[in-house]
Amino acid sequence: MKVDVVIGLQWGDEGKGKVVDVLTPKYSVVARFQGGPNAGHTLEFDGKKFVLHTIPSGIFRGGTVNLIGNGVVVDPTTLADEIDTLNAAGVATIGKILLSKKAHLILPTHRALDAAQEAAKGGAKIGSTLKGIGPAYTDKIGRAGLRVGDVLHPDFKKKYDALKQKHVALLRQLGCAPGGEEEEKWMQCIDRLQNELTIVDSEYEVNELLNKGNILAEGAQGSMLDVDFGSYPFVTSSSTVCAGACTGLGVAPGRVGEVIGIFKAYCTRVGSGPFPTELYDEVGEQMRRQGCELGSTTGRPRRCGWLDLVALRYSIMLSGATQLFMMKADVMDNFDAVKVATGYKINGEATDRYPYEVDVPVEPIYKEFRGWKMPLSGCRTEKDLPQEFLGYVTFIEQQTGVPVKFISVGPDRKETVLR
C-alpha cells in the first residue's frame, strides 16, 4: 500500500482542504505531516462551510482515521477549540483522531514570542500568522521543545516551567512584558488532548496502517513557503515539499505513491515576500473579489496575480508531482484575457529559474490567452468545459510535463471536474 501526498505548489491556500475532502473516500487514513494552526483548510458541502487548522480534512467522512503526525506543531488551545466547533456542528471527533507523541507543542509563550519577534522586525516582518509556528519549530530544531508525549510524564509541569522561563527571558530582551492569562486554559486543553484524542507512537501506527490500506498525506502551506526552497526568510518554518511527508510521518520515500500537486488557476500570497506576477490593478482586485481571497486563518486580504509557471515548474521539480489539480478556475470566468508567466527577465536577462535573491526586480514574461467568458461552476465533465479554457489547461500541461487530472470550479465538494 502507498502514501499519496497532497501538497500546495504555490504560496498556500491553493484549496488543499477541498481536495483532501473529495479524495478521502479512497483512503483509510488522512494524515497531516507538517505546519500547525497557521494552516486554514476550507471545506464546503451540503451548504455548510468548515475551516480546519490542525485536524486533518478527512474528519467529515465516517470511518476514516485522522492522524496528526510528528512533523506537526500542535497548540492544545486551538486544537480543543477546533474540536468544540466540530462537535457543536454535529461532527463526531471522539475516537477518530490520533496524535503523535513526537509532535511538538506550541506554548502560549511561543505565540507571544512570534508577535514580539515580528514587531521587532519592523518593516522587514515576515507577515507570520502569529500562531507561534516559528518559535515552536525553533525550539524543536534547537532540541529544547516540549513534545506531546511529555504530557504523559510526571515531570511535565517542571519541563514546561523551564521552557516558559527561557521564553520569558527572551520576551524581556525584546521589551515585552509576558502575560500569563492564556496558561490556565492551555493546561486544561492539555488534559483534554489526553482524554479526547488517542496519543500514539505515530511512526509505528502509520506503518502498520499502511500495510492495511492507502494513506493520504495532507500538506499545509505551499512549496514556495518551504523553509529550504521558499523565498527565505519570507517562508514558514517547515518542509512543505513532498519529502516533508516522509520525515513528518516516518514513512520511507519508497512508500510514496502519487504526488498530487495543487495549484490555483492564478496565484495568491498572504504575508510579505516576493511575488513576481502580483497585480496591483483592477484585474488583481477582481481576482480578490471573485475568489473571496481573504485568509482562512487571519482574515487578511490575499495578494493576487497571474499564474507563474516558473514557480510552478520549480515546485513540481522539488516534489516530483505526478499529477496536478487546478483550483478556482471559475474565478477568472469574466476575464477578457488571461495571462500566464512562462519566464522572467532579471537584469535584462531571460531566465526560467526562480531567483535566490528576494530583492531583485523580476519582470515576468507573459503569454496571453483569450478569456472563456462563461461560468464554469456548472461544469461536471470535460466536455462541459469551453475550448478557450481547455487551451489554457493544455498549455500548462505542456509547460510542466504533468497531467492536470482535476479541475475545481467552485468551493463545494461537488463543483469538480475529473479528467
User: Least distance from C-beta 89 to ligand GDP, angstroms?
Assistant: 16
129 is an interface residue for ligand IMO by CB under 6 A: yes
According to the binding rule CB under 6 A, does residue 371 interact with ligand IMO? no
Catalytic residue flag (residue 41): yes
75 counts as binding ligand IMO under rule CB under 6 A: no
Strand partners, 264: 327
Would you tell me how many other CB atoms lie within 10 Å of the CB of residue 282?
A: 9
CA distances from 200 to 56, 98, 101, 212, 245 (A): 16, 7, 6, 18, 18
Q: How many CB atoms lie under 10 A from the CB of residue 212?
A: 10
Based on the shown chain and the rule CB under 6 A, indicate whether residue 37 belongs to the binding site for ligand IMO.
no
Give me the least distance between CB of 169 and ligand GDP, in Å please: 35
Contacts 24+ apart (CB under 8 A), 393-398: 393/326, 395/340, 395/367, 395/369, 396/307, 396/309, 396/312, 396/324, 396/326, 396/340, 397/324
8 Cβ partners below 8 Å, 6+ apart?
Answer: 14, 16, 219, 220, 221, 222, 223, 240, 262, 263
Strand (E) positions, 95-244?
A: 97-100, 104-105, 198-200, 215-218
Establish if 40 lies at the interface with Mg ion (CB under 5 A).
yes
Asked whether position 77 contacts ligand IMO by CB under 6 A, the answer is no
End-to-end Cα, the chain, rounded Å? 24
Rounded to a whole number of angstroms, the minimum distance from the CB of residue 16 to Mg ion is 7
Question: Taking CB under 6 A as the criterion, which residues in 211-270 touch ligand IMO?
Answer: 220-222, 225, 236, 270
Check residue 126 for interaction with ligand IMO (CB under 6 A).
yes
Which of ligand GDP, Mg ion, ligand IMO, none does residue 408 bind to, with CB < 5 to 8 Å depending on kind? ligand GDP
Q: Which of 41, 104, 110, 167 is catalytic?
A: 41
Contact call for residue 10 and ligand IMO (CB under 6 A): no
Q: Where are the beta strands (DSSP E) in 86-140?
A: 97-100, 104-105
Stretch that binds ligand IMO, among 78-86, 104-112, 127-135, 277-285 (CB under 6 A): 127-135
Please state whether 217 falls in left (phi above 0), alpha (psi between -120 and 50) or beta. Answer: beta
Q: Is 100 in the site for Mg ion (CB under 5 A)?
A: no
Question: Which of these segments, 124-132, 162-170, 173-181, 383-391, binds ligand IMO (CB under 6 A)?
Answer: 124-132
Q: Identify which of residues 40 and 364 has a Cβ nearer to ligand IMO in the complex.
A: 40
C-alpha cell at 349: 536577462
Binding site for ligand GDP (CB under 6 A): 8, 12-18, 40-42, 44, 291-292, 296, 327-328, 330-331, 408-411
Rounded Cα distance, 87 and 197, in Å: 14
Residue closest to ligand IMO (Cβ): 271
**Which option in Mg ion, ligand IMO, ligand GDP, none does residue 128 bind, with CB closer than 5 to 8 A by kind?**
ligand IMO
> Is residue 327 a contact residue for ligand IMO (CB under 6 A)?
no
Give 314: exposed, middle or buried? Use CB within 10 Å, 0-12, 13-18, 19+: middle
Q: CB–CB of 407/417 below 8 Å?
A: yes
Taking contact as CB under 5 A, which single stretch among the options 8-16, 21-29, 241-249, 314-322 is the one that binds Mg ion?
8-16
Query: Residue 134 interacts with Mg ion (CB under 5 A)?
Result: no
Q: Which of 55, 193 has the CB closer to ligand GDP?
A: 55
Q: Which is nearer to Mg ion, 37 or 40 (CB)?
A: 40
Q: Which residues contact 343 (CB under 8 A, 6 or more apart)?
A: 309, 310, 350, 351, 352, 364, 365
Closest to Mg ion by CB, 57 vs 77, is 57
Q: Which residues touch 110 (CB under 8 Å, ≥6 apart)?
A: 132, 135, 136, 139, 167
Distances in whole angstroms, Cα of residue 341 to Cα of each of 130, 187, 318: 32, 49, 19
Q: Which does 126 bind (CB under 5 to 8 A by kind): ligand GDP, ligand IMO, Mg ion, none?
A: ligand IMO
Q: Half-sphere exposure of residue 151, counting CA atoms within 13 Å on the CB side? A: 27
Binding partner of residue 271 among ligand IMO, ligand GDP, Mg ion, none, CB cut-off 5 to 8 Å per kind? ligand IMO
Coil, strand, or helix at residue 217? strand
Residue 385 lies near ligand IMO (rule: CB under 6 A) = no
Q: Does 13 participate in binding Mg ion (rule CB under 5 A)?
A: yes
Task: Report the residue number, 123 or 299, with the smaller CB distance to ligand GDP.
Answer: 299
Determine phi and psi for 122, rounding to 5 degrees. 60, -125
Q: Which residues contact Mg ion by CB under 5 A? A: 13, 40, 296
Q: Which residues contact ligand IMO by CB under 6 A? A: 8, 11-13, 35, 38-41, 126-129, 131, 133-134, 220-222, 225, 236, 270-271, 296
Q: Which residues belong to the active site?
A: 13, 41
